[in-house]
Amino acid sequence: MTDDPTTPYLLTPGPLTTSPSTRAAMNRDWGSRDKDFIEMTARIRTRLASIVGVTDAAPTHSCVLLQGSGTYAIEATLDTLIPRDGKLLLLINGAYGTRMAEICRYIGRETEQIEYSENAPVDLTGVEFAIDSDPSITHVAVVHCETTTGILNPLVELAEMIRRKGLGLIIDAMSSFGALPLDVATVPCTAVVASSNKCLEGVPGVGFAIIEKAALKACENNPTSLSLDLFRQWQQFEKTGEWRFTPPTHVVAAFDAALDAFEQEGGVEGRGARYAENCRILVTGMRALGFETYLSDNLQAPIIVTFYSPGDANYVFGEFYDRLKSHGYAIYPGKLTKEDSFRIGCIGDLGSREMKGALTAIEAVLVEMQITDRAPAGRSG
Ligand X SMILES: *Cc1c(COP(=O)(O)O)cnc(C)c1O
The β-bridge partners of 344 are 305
Among residues 239, 375, 221, 381, the alpha carbon closest in space to that of 307 is found at 375
From CA 110, how far away is CA 128, in angstroms rounded? 19
3-state secondary structure of 356: helix
Given candidates 174, 180, 295, 350, which one binds ligand X under the rule CB under 6 A? 174
How far, CA to CA in Å, does 153 sit from each of 12, 79, 83, 214, 276? 20, 24, 26, 26, 17
Residues touching ligand X: how many (CB under 6 A)? 13
For ligand X, which stretch binds (CB under 6 A), given 169-177, 232-240, 332-340, 359-367? 169-177
Least distance from ligand X to the Cβ atom of residue 145, Å: 6
Least distance from ligand X to the Cβ atom of residue 28, Å: 26
For ligand X, which stretch binds (CB under 6 A), given 37-45, 171-179, 264-272, 317-325? 171-179
| Contacts for 94 with CB less than 8 Å, ≥ 6 apart | 118, 143, 146, 147, 148, 149, 151, 335
From CA 169, how far away is CA 90, in angstroms rounded? 10
Residue 62 in the binding site for ligand X (CB under 6 A): no
Q: Which of residues 63-92 bind ligand X (CB under 6 A)?
A: 69-71, 74
Given candidates 12, 175, 306, 341, which one binds ligand X under the rule CB under 6 A? 175
Task: Please report how the helices 352-368 and 317-326 are oriented relative to each other, as an axis angle in degrees rounded to 10.
Answer: 130
Least distance from ligand X to the Cβ atom of residue 302, Å: 14
From CA 42, how far away is CA 234, in angstroms rounded? 12
| Contacts for 335 with CB less than 8 Å, ≥ 6 apart | 94, 95, 148, 149, 341, 343
Residue 251 in the binding site for ligand X (CB under 6 A): no
Least distance from ligand X to the Cβ atom of residue 347, Å: 10
Least distance from ligand X to the Cβ atom of residue 71, Å: 3
Least distance from ligand X to the Cβ atom of residue 192, Å: 12
Residue 334 in the binding site for ligand X (CB under 6 A): no
CB nearer to ligand X: give 96 or 291.
96
Q: Which residues bind ligand X (CB under 6 A)?
A: 13-14, 69-71, 74, 96, 143, 147, 172, 174-175, 195
